[in-house]
Amino acid sequence: MDLTSLTIDAARSAVQERKTTALALAEAHYDRIQKEDGQIGAFLTLSKERALAQADRIDRMAAEGKPLPPLGGVPVGIKDVMSTRGVRTTAGSKILEKYIPPYDCTAVARMEAAGAVMLGKMNCDEFAMGSSNENSAYHPVRNPRDLSRVPGGSSGGSAAAVAADMAVVTLGSDTGGSIRQPASFCGVVGLMPTYGRVSRYGLIAFASSLDHIGPLTKTVKDAATVLRTIAGRDAMDSTSADVPVPDYVAELDKPVRGMKVGVAKEYFGEGLDDEVRQAVEAAIDKLRGLGCEIVPVSLSHTPYAIPTYYLIATAEASANLARYDGVRYTLRARGVKTLSEMYRRSRDEGFGAEVKRRIMLGTYALSAGYYDAYYLKAQKVRTLLTRDFDEAFRKVDAIVTPTSPTPAFRLGEKSNDPLAMYLADIYTVTADLAGIPGISVPCGETKDNLPIGLQILGRHFDESAILRLGHAYEQAA
Ligand code: GLN
């Protein structure tokens, strides 16, 4: 049995049936990391001690014949924006280089309570700001399919690790596309749940009205299993919703025949790569072949999504990142004479260029005299974008689009042109702004073997519909 190419169910039952052990699974993954990750760069920190202790606990359960929990023995990786007790958590930033959280993120705690074995922490763009993982303060991540290309971002390490079989599952975070876009670039499944579906307690905040936690996996079914594990109200996060969590896995096999699937012309316009367009159109045909009814819908405010997102996200980031002041959370500049010099120098030394750019943009957008013209206006456009979706979801059960306008680009290709980088988020930011769930499912490859992603968007709290469609497509494809 190849221990590093298993899905959740295969891994869990192999441990349950004593065909292997959780320990052997963890070690096989560490061997693979040792072999592959030198060139890929997906991990920032390994948490071997914690992983082996958990694996041992699971193996003892299996030896006693106790039924294993849903993720029993499954090796996972956690994006380094989620706090892990006793395990360094950097958010990809120098300013948190030595930060060791005293508590666990709820999503991580729920994964471990369900039996997951945490191998380590995944590389990412600094404070999750980026689309290529090149903004990590440590090192970039390379796309396992083509090492000259980016894995996407900001959850680049999370996507690359699953694609390269260095973890069965990882958790990522999505503020403007950071789970779905790297999933599409690396050829894995990435699910962003509805805003409020998964607790953000312990997630290092980027933009609080947009941040989500979700899984990156090898199959849609695995995404359903992880969502079931991490979803649901958490008293530690007042923004987590008290909405019943369905059994996503049980609902996967409900028929998709008769489902109404929307296609919006605004997502097939200028800038869309030809091969991506063809692959997504072929996927739409496949859904039609499965008995879905394809319905044209209009999302007419889409052209305003990028400026709206980059005002709201930067404004919230400027507020959230004010807490890194050199007083708490590690990095403090040395040799300073005054308190204000200490603040300035610590932030100057601790933050990278993209983070500084965003703090400045956001602070400007919130400043007296500009607030109405920028931040307030962006909030109004956000409402219009949300209404577009409300309107569309009166007619359809889901909407399909490309996840990203292009396949993975080359390292360095866009890193000197922030605007070009921001424009690449065109198809993903809308779901974050509207708070609706979205999933990216692999839908073919370019001539150069680069993965292409199909994005499926759903109604608020209706992850079941997009998981079901994604699963049906995956089985048919
Ligand atoms: N690429 C987007 C940005 O740079 C989205 C990032 C994210 O979702 N965390 O802000």
What pLDDT sits at residue 329? 75
Answer yes or no: is 117 within a domain. Answer: yes
Do residues 458 and 193 make contact, with C-beta atoms less than 8 angstroms apart?
Answer: no
Based on the fold, state whether residues 29 and 147 are members of the same structural domain.
yes
Answer yes or no: is 200 within a domain. Answer: yes
pLDDT category at 143 given cuts 50, 70, 90 is very high
pLDDT tens readout for residues 18-35: 999 999 999 999 999 999
Query: Is residue 107 over pLDDT 80?
Result: yes
Do residues 293 and 396 make contact, with C-beta atoms less than 8 angstroms apart?
Answer: no
What secondary structure does DSSP assign to 231-289, as a single string? BS--TT-TTS---PPP-HHHHTTS--TT-EEEEEGGGSSTT--HHHHHHHHHHHHHHHH
What pLDDT sits at residue 84? 98
Angle among Cα 10, 14, 20 to the nearest 5 degrees reads: 135
Kindly state if the Cβ of 176 falls inside 6 Å of ligand 1: yes
pLDDT tens readout for residues 294-341: 999 999 999 999 999 999 999 999 999 999 999 987 789 999 999 999
Residue for token digits 């500009």? 370
Kindly state if the Cβ of 313 falls inside 6 Å of ligand 1: yes
Q: Whose CA is nearest to atom 10 of ligand 1?
A: 129
What secondary structure does DSSP assign to 115-145, as a single string? T-EEEEEE--SGGG--SSSTT-SS----BTT
Shortest-distance atom of ligand 1 to CA 207? 9
Answer yes or no: is 393 within a domain. Answer: yes
Across 180-185, average pLDDT = 98
| Collapsed DSSP state (helix, strand, coil) of residue 293 | strand
Based on the fold, state whether residues 120 and 65 are members of the same structural domain.
yes
Based on the fold, state whether residues 216 and 272 are members of the same structural domain.
no
Task: Give the residue numbers spanning the domain of 90.
Answer: 8-251
What pLDDT sits at residue 288? 98
Kindly state if the Cβ of 205 falls inside 6 Å of ligand 1: no
Answer yes or no: is 338 within a domain. Answer: no
Across 361-381, average pLDDT = 95
Based on the fold, state whether residues 188 and 272 are members of the same structural domain.
no
- The pTM of the full predicted model, rounded to 2 decimals, is 0.98
Kindly state if the Cβ of 428 falls inside 6 Å of ligand 1: no
Catalytic residues, which ones?
79, 154, 178
Based on the fold, state whether residues 215 and 286 are members of the same structural domain.
no
Based on the fold, state whether residues 44 and 193 are members of the same structural domain.
yes
Answer yes or no: is 54 within a domain. Answer: yes
Domain end marker among 227, 251, 275:
251
Based on the fold, state whether residues 238 and 266 are members of the same structural domain.
no
The amino acid that residue 28 corresponds to is A
> Ligand 1 centre and the CA of 475: distance in Å?
30
What pLDDT sits at residue 361? 97
Kindly state if the Cβ of 425 falls inside 6 Å of ligand 1: yes
Domain end marker among 187, 222, 251:
251
Based on the fold, state whether residues 241 and 116 are members of the same structural domain.
yes
> Ligand 1 centre and the CA of 132: distance in Å?
9
Q: How many domains does the chain have?
A: 2
pLDDT tens readout for residues 266-286: 999 989 999 999 999 999 999
Based on the fold, state whether residues 143 and 225 are members of the same structural domain.
yes
Q: Which two tokens stand for residue 477?
A: 């494809």
Answer yes or no: is 243 within a domain. Answer: yes
What pLDDT sits at residue 468? 98
pLDDT tens readout for residues 148-181: 999 999 999 999 999 999 999 999 999 999 999 9
> Ligand 1 centre and the CA of 285: distance in Å?
30
Based on the fold, state whether residues 237 and 274 are members of the same structural domain.
no
Kindly state if the Cβ of 175 falls inside 6 Å of ligand 1: yes
What pLDDT sits at residue 330? 75
Based on the fold, state whether residues 272 and 182 are members of the same structural domain.
no
Answer yes or no: is 350 within a domain. Answer: no
Kindly report the CATH number assigned to the domain that includes residue 410: 3.90.1300.10
Do residues 212 and 128 make contact, with C-beta atoms less than 8 angstroms apart?
Answer: no
Based on the fold, state whether residues 169 and 186 are members of the same structural domain.
yes
Pocket test for ligand 1, best of 79, 127, 131 (most atoms within 8 A of CB): 131
Answer yes or no: is 360 within a domain. Answer: no
d(CA 37, CA 56): 25
